[in-house]
Chains A and B, each alone.
Chain A
Amino acid sequence: MAETTRADEELYRQLAKGREEAFSALYERYQAPILRFAWHMSGNSATAEDVTQEVFMLLIRNPKSYDPAKGSVAGYLFGIARNLTRRRLERSRLDEPLAEEWAQGSETGLASDTDLLGDLTRVELLGCLQKAVLGLPEQYREVIVLCDLEEMSYPDAAVVLQCPAGTIASRLHRARVMLKARLECQGCVK
């Protein structure tokens, strides 16, 4: 991670000088994680794309805004994505439509290995799970998204969320407990 951080910082310096290759490299490295993060946090493709676009537009318009002393480039970009997603959710309160879109999206993604995953992998139950994830308080949802959905390591998630790895572990444990409780309440699992 430290090497990646240094490489990112170098790319960022080059980007600030106007090197397009540096921008392309940073974009290729982070567009997908940021898009997925925003998608999991909001459950909405349009919001996720808008957030991704705005994150990189900010990078283009204000390249001097990043301060290496305050954290990694990844943390900075995810921080912008978090704020933008939060703002969008507060503005539009997209809870219900999200769940619907989610169910549609999940239909295309399942088909093959449903048997392996048992009850929860059934389309409607994945919908339940998504709804439960979206219903988690933001700080718990973030760790579920990064560590479980994106399979990021604790230290990496700690860099992104700018908190100690121990905090990530404790939040994740609590988030899973809350998630199970919500799934049971919704009657999705026995």
Chain B
Amino acid sequence: MNESDSRLSAALRHLGAIAPRGAPAALGDMLKDEFRRQHARRRRERNARILLIAACFAGFAIVSFFIWPDAPNKTASHEPVQIAPSPRAKVPAGLPELPALRESQAKVEKSHALSRKKKNSVPEIAENRFVALPTFDPAIPIDHSEMVRVDLPGRDLRLVGYPVSEEIADRRVLADVLLTQDGTPYALRLVQNSRIKEQ
């Protein structure tokens, strides 16, 4: 850096030194007041939105209570209409029944029988034994299993590895599915509804 450069730098520093050191205090106060106002407004708006949403939910719940007070029962009474005849005879032969499953199956059936008695609902009879799905691994202990009943097109059973004949494939079927504790289906049986039997 030569002499003229250093003189220029010094002059520029001096120029920088005479610049204002900061904004007036009034500006800072005004901005802080504005910040408070803005955020108070935002909080009010947010609370109003929350209240509005809560009111909408409450309104919807009240309306649905008065309009559809027995909606679940109606659905239950319509359910059998959708159920196609059970493909009991069409359950593929050759799939092994699982001795290991019998115990849990018995438990589940017992609890279902009890609950059916309690509810006095349409009696349903499990027609078939549970059949192991390809996902079942006897080496893995099943501490807790859960059974769910599903109503679905027959061909969808193929998705979990249950072999389905062409006859059932196009119908809706009722099936009990046993799930492991992590939700993996490991056994399945087809169910026949007594009403359908009567037909």
Contact residues of A with B, CB < 8 Å?
18, 20, 23-24, 27-28, 31-32, 35-36, 39-40, 45, 48-49, 52-53, 56-57, 60-61, 105-106, 108-110, 113, 116-121, 125-126, 129-130, 133, 144, 148-151, 176, 179-180, 183, 189
Contact residues of B with A, CB < 8 Å?
4-5, 7-24, 27-28, 30-32, 34-36, 38-39, 42-43
Q: Are A52 and B15 in contact (CB under 8 A)?
A: no
Q: Closest Cβ of chain B: how far from A148's Cβ, in Å?
A: 4
A149 CB contact (under 8 Å) in B12, B24, B32, B35: B12
Q: Closest Cβ of chain B: how far from A101's Cβ, in Å?
A: 12
**Which residues from B are CB-within-8-Å of A126?**
11, 14-15, 18
**Which residues from A are CB-within-8-Å of B30?**
53
**Which residues from A are CB-within-8-Å of B10?**
116-118, 120-121
**Which residues from B are CB-within-8-Å of A121?**
10-11, 14
Q: Are A52 and B5 in contact (CB under 8 A)?
A: no
Q: Are A148 and B9 in contact (CB under 8 A)?
A: yes
**Which residues from B are CB-within-8-Å of A28?**
28
Q: Are B4 and A189 in contact (CB under 8 A)?
A: yes
Q: Are A56 and B21 in contact (CB under 8 A)?
A: no
Interface of B (DSSP majority class): helix
Q: Are B5 and A176 in contact (CB under 8 A)?
A: yes
Most chain A beta-carbon neighbours within 10 Å: one of B15, B16, B23, B38: B15
Interface of A (DSSP majority class): helix
Residue on B with the closest CB to A190?
A: B4
- With A39-B20, A49-B23, A49-B27 as contacts: A130 and B15 at CB distance below 8 Å: yes
Q: Are A117 and B11 in contact (CB under 8 A)?
A: yes
Q: Are A32 and B23 in contact (CB under 8 A)?
A: yes
**Which residues from A are CB-within-8-Å of B42?**
18
A120 to B42, CA, bound (A): 53
A151 to B30, CA, bound (A): 29
Q: Are A148 and B13 in contact (CB under 8 A)?
A: yes
A180 to B12, CA, bound (A): 12
Closest 10 CB pairs of A and B: A109-B18, A149-B16, A120-B11, A148-B12, A18-B39, A32-B22, A36-B19, A31-B23, A23-B35, A56-B31
Q: Are B22 and A35 in contact (CB under 8 A)?
A: yes
